[in-house]
Amino acid sequence: EHTIYLKDYAPSPYKITAVDLDFRILADHTRVRAQLTVEPRAETAPGTPLVLDGDELKLGSVAIDGAPLALAAYVADDNGLTIVEPPLRRFVLETEVTLKPEGNLKLMGLYRSSGTWCTQCEPEGFRRITYYLDRPDNLATFKVTMTAPHDLAPVLLANGNLVGQGDAGEGMHFAVWEDPYPKPAYLFALVAGDLGSITNSFTTASGRKVDLAIYCEHGKEDQCHWAMDSLKRSMAWDEKRFGREYDLDIFNIVAVSDFNFGAMENKGLNIFNDKLVFAQPATATDADYENIERVIAHEYFHNWTGNRITCRDWFQLCLKEGLTVYRDQEFTSDERSRAVKRISDVVTLRSAQFPEDGGPLAHPARPDQYREINNFYTPTVYEKGAEIVRMLATLLGEAGFRRGMDLYFERHDGEATTIEAFLAVFAEANDVDLEQFKTWYLQAGTPRLSVTDSYDAASQTYTLKLSQETLPTPGQPVKQALVLPIKFGLIGPNGSPMGWSEVSGGEVRDDLIVLRDASAEITFKGIANKPVPSLLREFSAPVNLDTNLTQSDRLFLAQHDSDPYGRWQALQDVATELAVGAATGTPWPDATVEGLSRAMADTLANKNLDDAFKALALNLPGEALIGRAIGKNVDPARIHAVRDALTKAVFGPLGRDLLVAYTNLSSTLPYAPDAASAGRRALRNRILALLVGSEAAGASALAAKQYAEASNMTDRYAALSISGSAWTVEAPTMLADFRTRFTANPLVFDKWLMVSALAQDEGVLDRIKAILAAPDFPKSNPNRLRALLGSFVMSNPAQFTRPDGAAFRFVTDFVADVDTRNPQVAARVLTGFRIWQMLEPKRREAARVALSALQEGGKLSRNTADVLARMLA
């Protein structure tokens, strides 16, 4: 299979500088005429063919400067169109092709979602619309004329500004859009459909008025106001925090229901999966509200980090994605609680990225080879990419980071560039060397940072010994030492921060240790008592940390660390050690369990901590995380049982306190999505989960009561998922009620699918099979498939890894079937197998057999074949 290497990157011998597209959209097919202004590069030799990408296009005609080409002058095949000997001067290439958007189930290129015509071009979808240099380093201006039936598509949208519209006769009408900003084809978009909208406006810092609109299915307009509010706050934030103003007169968002991803940042015309637009209290949870706010911000921020400055090639994907995730994380931190956001992001990183980085699909944040670029829209590129930018900000400080960003925008605006160029602006603006830092982009794997401390009372010196190691990953047997920014503090016996008179043996700046070598020994002088170190505050580097801290040191940190992340992490560490011990044959010491129980009670009672933080703290590490801490021969069913038992042991004794707190947190106020109200609901629902999880008397009935009486989806869904996961006696009735209560709402149906997939009883697999086999199950909608199958493989480890292998076989059969329609969805579901080599032998063998059968079973898409090959390598 064909592999593409970064080292082979070369500019195209021709560039396309201007694009004029004419779409004639009809009920059963679409005709696309393209006029491409093509220029050879100065160094291009005569006779160099022009090779354009194309995929599933039906070619009508080809002409150059108005003259039709003879058959021998071009070659059209499955991969595109080659002009054998183009003129060595500027010329206009004209092509006409026919598309069938109606049968496009891959949802790449031009397709139809509930009747609406829409596009998805990133990364390689534009070649499914017309023959083109479908690579991000070709920037061109676009003019788009769309003609469509007025009744089917009264709304006609494309990138940029509307420059003309009118009647086209015979029930047709047209619109002309022009985008003045040169862009790569992956940012092209059009939408044609019968849509409703809400409108608003934003005045930029320099006083320009921008018209804003969100388009959606008729009747759903009133569910778009939160998204609009989020957009306006995002626009204001990017001006304030990064000095970035919006640059067109129009910003449109369209919500569609069939979409392979969350959303897409097309220039001036963002297209969204409707689950990331629609919000109203009765159908969306607080998590949905926060997600919508985050993704609206993310796509908006791409206007500068992605669109104005784009990627030279797809290896540089994290140039735009990691940076933009960092920016959206900062937005949420500024809008909500910084500490809570940081902890939630660490949870996401550990549950999605660390397993990737430690398994068969590990790859660098900037990969150097790929077979299928769609398989590299990963947690490593996105979330680890954001962590790398965060480390840069930590190392350079807020002002230094901003200096670098300002230089980046100044120097590279209008360019398609690289990670090297990105790092160079920070190095230059701050006069530092970032050569070693760059390794973070090139090297896969999660480093292990080990720290041991010792104290010498006689000399009043305190020493930290640090070392780092990254294990080999596929294709990278040897690893380099990385630059690790380690935020820290020393805490004295009374819980107060301790200073030092002198420090030696390492790079220490205020509250930051920078470890650059494989190891270091740092000595602090003038330390009157043995401190407890708080290490890796704010999770300042994406590493696994090992320390010699005792369980009682951790319980001390849980009470005294001034860093909320540090407190949360300390509680997690205590619980992880207990769970790992119990799952591998070391019964937990009762005194430690009691200590953890008391620490949880203190956290709950602490008036200085906010509710959202408490909701995160009053939780045990997830089953997958415990599995990873064990590392090999993992038995997920045993972990599940141990975690349940630990929940009972830690939270059972707190039953009365929990019930009182639950009652005190009840509210009769109308729903509001703000962070404080959401935090209160999060804590109350967390407590409900603990009461049910520790089998407190009457808890399952209390959950059923909350479900029945809830005045918003957050409380109703929490009660349902808590009951569904524990499979309480009330759960089946609640699920049946939920299904009928919201029959007409597909996004709420997804919630039902998720709860159904996450039940922890052995009947879950059969129920999933029955749901999927129902004749009316919408098998081509990615949201439905991900809600059912994605949740099962990613978040129900005990049942997915049943020792009889039945769930493995079911999932591989599912992947083979979906792969024939939508390879991206199939390949993504398959990544759920990435844990297979860590399982105990019986489960491991069952997984291997299922994966091998899939491989032998016949023709798979390149997407799925690539994931499978790496999984089995």
Where on the phi/psi map is residue 507: left (φ > 0), alpha (ψ -120 to 50), or beta?
beta
Contact between 389 and ligand HT7 per CB under 6 A: no
* Residue 812 to residue 820: CA distance in whole angstroms: 13
Contact between 685 and ligand HT7 per CB under 6 A: no
| Minimum separation from the CB atom of position 179 to ligand HT7 (A) | 17
**Alpha helix locations (H) across 606-695?**
611-617, 623-630, 636-651, 655-664, 675-693
Nearer to ligand HT7, 261 or 651 (CB): 261
Query: Which amino acid is present at 449?
Result: L
Reported for 861-865, long-range contacts at CB under 8 A and 24+ positions apart, including other chains, are 861/819, 861/823, 861/826, 861/827, 862/1, 862/371, 862/372, 862/823, 863/372, 863/374, 863/375, 863/819, 863/823, 863/824, 863/826, 863/827, 864/815, 864/819, 864/823, 864/826, 864/827, 864/830, 865/1
Nearer to ligand HT7, 109 or 621 (CB): 109
Binding mask of the shown chain, residues 796 to 835, with x at each position contacting ligand HT7 by CB under 6 A: ----------------------------x-----------
Q: Which of 122, 288, 328, 577 binds ligand HT7 (CB under 6 A)?
A: 122
Contact between 260 and ligand HT7 per CB under 6 A: yes
Contact between 299 and ligand HT7 per CB under 6 A: yes
Region near ligand HT7 per CB under 6 A, out of 192-200, 258-266, 718-726, 862-870: 258-266
Contact between 264 and ligand HT7 per CB under 6 A: yes
Nearer to ligand HT7, 263 or 392 (CB): 263
The residues, ordered by sequence, that sit 6+ positions from 830 with a Cβ below 8 Å of its Cβ are: 811, 812, 815, 854, 864, 867, 868, 871
Answer positive or negative: Cα dihedral of 310, 315, 316, 321.
Answer: positive
* Residue 596 to residue 619: CA distance in whole angstroms: 11
| Minimum separation from the CB atom of position 108 to ligand HT7 (A) | 7
Query: Which amino acid is present at 128?
Result: R
| Minimum separation from the CB atom of position 71 to ligand HT7 (A) | 35
**Which residue bears the tokens 């996004």?**
747
User: If contact means CB under 5 to 8 A according to the sort of partner, which of ligand HT7, Zn ion, none does residue 122 touch?
Assistant: ligand HT7
Nearer to Zn ion, 175 or 297 (CB): 297
The residue count for binding ligand HT7 (CB under 6 A) is 14
Contact between 384 and ligand HT7 per CB under 6 A: no
* Residue 235 to residue 304: CA distance in whole angstroms: 11
Q: Which of 179, 274, 321, 563 binds ligand HT7 (CB under 6 A)?
A: 321
| Minimum separation from the CB atom of position 256 to ligand HT7 (A) | 11
Are the C-beta atoms of 487 and 477 separated by less than 8 Å? Answer: no
Are the C-beta atoms of 415 and 309 separated by less than 8 Å? Answer: yes
The residues, ordered by sequence, that sit 6+ positions from 672 with a Cβ below 8 Å of its Cβ are: none
Catalytic residues: 299
Contact between 316 and ligand HT7 per CB under 6 A: no
Contact between 288 and ligand HT7 per CB under 6 A: no
Backbone angles phi, psi at 549, to 5 degrees: -65, 145
Dig out the tokens for 743 from the structure.
């029959």
Contact between 120 and ligand HT7 per CB under 6 A: yes
List contacts with Zn ion (CB under 5 A): 321, 324
Are the C-beta atoms of 324 and 422 separated by less than 8 Å? Answer: no
Q: Which of 174, 261, 304, 354 binds ligand HT7 (CB under 6 A)?
A: 261
Contact between 270 and ligand HT7 per CB under 6 A: no
Q: Residue 770 in 3-state DSSP?
A: helix
**Which residue bears the tokens 């939270």?**
651
Q: Which of 137, 179, 258, 265 binds ligand HT7 (CB under 6 A)?
A: 265
Contact between 258 and ligand HT7 per CB under 6 A: no
Region near ligand HT7 per CB under 6 A, out of 175-183, 260-268, 637-645, 832-840: 260-268
User: If contact means CB under 5 to 8 A according to the sort of partner, which of Zn ion, ligand HT7, none does residue 864 touch?
Assistant: none
User: If contact means CB under 5 to 8 A according to the sort of partner, which of Zn ion, ligand HT7, none does residue 814 touch?
Assistant: none
Taking alpha carbons only, the member of 61, 12, 74, 60 closest to residue 38 is 12
Contact between 244 and ligand HT7 per CB under 6 A: no
DSSP letters, 74-105, are EEEETTEEEESS--SS-EEEEEEEEE-GGG-T
Nearer to Zn ion, 260 or 576 (CB): 260
> What is the binding site for ligand HT7 (CB under 6 A)?
120, 122, 260-261, 263-265, 298-299, 302, 321, 374, 377, 824
